[in-house]
Amino acid sequence: MHSKEVEIVNATGLHARPAAEFCKRASQFIADITIKKLGDAPKQGNGKSVINVMTLCLGRGTNIEICADGEDEIIAVETLAALIQSGFGEA
């Protein structure tokens, strides 16, 4: 298992378009991917499910942990973390 903590930087957080983009990218990997909302009210969901990601209510400034378990776990986590850190072109 590989994981990395990142902060949501785009102004609108992971609303519909960025959540869909995140899940589309996550679905390209074989590894199981989990996204965890950190903080006072921690939650987690399937990183390949748009519904799961959107129900986490990941706004700007939210810290998350991206976890992957599988043969391509390292590249999956690093790719998805870079996508979050890029702000989906909105930051």
Catalytic residues: 15
**DSSP labels, 1-44:** -EEEEEE--STT-S-HHHHHHHHHHHTTSSSEEEEEE-SSS-EE
Measured between alpha carbons, how far is 79 from 27 in angstroms, rounded to an integer? 12
